[in-house]
Amino acid sequence: MILQIAKKEIHHNLTTLRFALMIILLPVLFVANALIYSLGDGGYTARIDAYNERVRQDRKHIKAQADISLAELALRGPGDIPKRPSRLIFCAGGVDEVVSRSIKLRSDGGISRSSGVDDEDYAWRHPLRLEYKVVSSGSHSTGRVKINWVFIGVLMSFFAILFTFDAIAGERMRGTLSLIMSNSVSRGQVLLGKYLGAFVTLTVPLVMGVLVNLLIILLIGSIPFDSADWLRILGIVGLFALHISVFIFLGLFFSSRVSNAITSLVWLLLTWVCLAFVFPSLLGIFVSNLNPIPSVDEISMQRRAQLDQIEDEWQRGSSPRLKKSPSLERISVTRLWSEYFTVITDMETQIADGHIDRQLQQVQLARDLTQISPIATFQYAMEGLANTSIVGYMNFVKQARRYRQTFIDFIKTEDRSDPESLHIYPVKEGLSQKPVDPDAVPVFEERISYRSVLSQVGLLVLFNLLFFIVAQVSFLMSEVK
Tens digits of residue pLDDT in 17-33 = 999 999 999 999 999 99
Q: Report percent pLDDT > 70 for the chain.
A: 93
Angle at 144 between CA 142 and CA 146, to 5 degrees: 90
pLDDT in the model for residue 137: 37
Helix, strand or coil, per DSSP, at residue 356: helix
Q: Report percent pLDDT > 90 for the chain.
A: 58
Contact (Cβ atoms closer than 8 angstroms) between residue 344 and residue 126: yes
Contact (Cβ atoms closer than 8 angstroms) between residue 373 and residue 280: yes
Q: What DSSP string runs through 186-244?
A: -HHHHHHHHHHHHHHHHHHHHHHHHHHHHHHHHHHT-S---HHHHHHHHHHHHHHHHHH
pLDDT in the model for residue 110: 56
Contact (Cβ atoms closer than 8 angstroms) between residue 69 and residue 411: no
pLDDT: is 41 or 193 the higher one?
Answer: 193
* HSE value, Cβ hemisphere, 13 Å, CA-based, for 121: 4
pLDDT tops 50 at residue 89: yes
If residue 130 lies in a helix (H) or strand (E), which one and from where to where? strand 129-131
Per-residue model confidence as pLDDT tens digits over 208-247: 999 999 999 999 988 999 999 999 999 999 999 999 999 9
pLDDT tops 90 at residue 327: no
Contact (Cβ atoms closer than 8 angstroms) between residue 430 and residue 326: yes
Number of Cβ within a 10 Å radius of residue 347: 17
pLDDT tops 50 at residue 80: yes
Measured N-to-C along each axis, helices 452-477 and 187-220 cross at an angle, to the nearest 10 degrees, of: 150
Mean pLDDT value across residues 279-303: 85
Measured N-to-C along each axis, helices 149-164 and 17-39 cross at an angle, to the nearest 10 degrees, of: 180
Nearest to 198 by CA among 12, 24, 379, 470: 12
pLDDT in the model for residue 139: 36
pLDDT tops 60 at residue 136: no
Query: Of 241-250, 419-428, 437-446, which has the strongest mean pLDDT?
Result: 241-250
Average pLDDT value over all residues in the chain: 88
Angle at 473 between CA 467 and CA 475, to 5 degrees: 100
pLDDT in the model for residue 316: 74
**Residue 397 to residue 403: CA distance in whole angstroms:** 10
131, 87, 239, 13 alpha-carbon torsion, rounded to 10°:
130
pLDDT tier, 412 (very low <50, low <70, confident <90, very high otherwise)? very high
Mean pLDDT value across residues 247-268: 93
pLDDT tops 80 at residue 40: no
**Residue 38 to residue 44: CA distance in whole angstroms:** 6
pLDDT tops 70 at residue 472: yes
Angle at 411 between CA 407 and CA 415, to 5 degrees: 170
Q: What DSSP string runs through 59-125?
A: HHHHHHHHHH-HHHHHHH--EEEEPPPPTTTTT--GGGGTS-SEEEEE--SPEEEES-SSSS-EEEE
pLDDT: is 66 or 292 the higher one?
Answer: 66
pLDDT in the model for residue 324: 84
pLDDT in the model for residue 52: 92
229, 233, 238, 243 alpha-carbon torsion, rounded to 10°:
120
**Residue 342 to residue 320: CA distance in whole angstroms:** 17
Per-residue model confidence as pLDDT tens digits over 138-169: 333 344 578 999 999 999 999 999 999 999 98
pLDDT in the model for residue 102: 79
Lowest mean pLDDT among 21-25, 289-293, 339-343, 380-384: 289-293
This prediction's pTM = 0.89
Q: Which long-range contacts (CB under 8 A, 24 or more apart) does 368-371 make?
A: 369/283, 369/286, 369/287, 370/279, 370/280, 370/283, 370/284, 371/456, 371/459
Contact (Cβ atoms closer than 8 angstroms) between residue 193 and residue 5: yes
pLDDT tier, 186 (very low <50, low <70, confident <90, very high otherwise)? confident
**Residue 93 to residue 90: CA distance in whole angstroms:** 7
pLDDT tier, 109 (very low <50, low <70, confident <90, very high otherwise)? low
Mean pLDDT value across residues 174-196: 85
Mean pLDDT value across residues 452-465: 95
Mean pLDDT value across residues 372-400: 94
Contact (Cβ atoms closer than 8 angstroms) between residue 251 and residue 195: no
pLDDT tier, 111 (very low <50, low <70, confident <90, very high otherwise)? low
pLDDT in the model for residue 143: 46
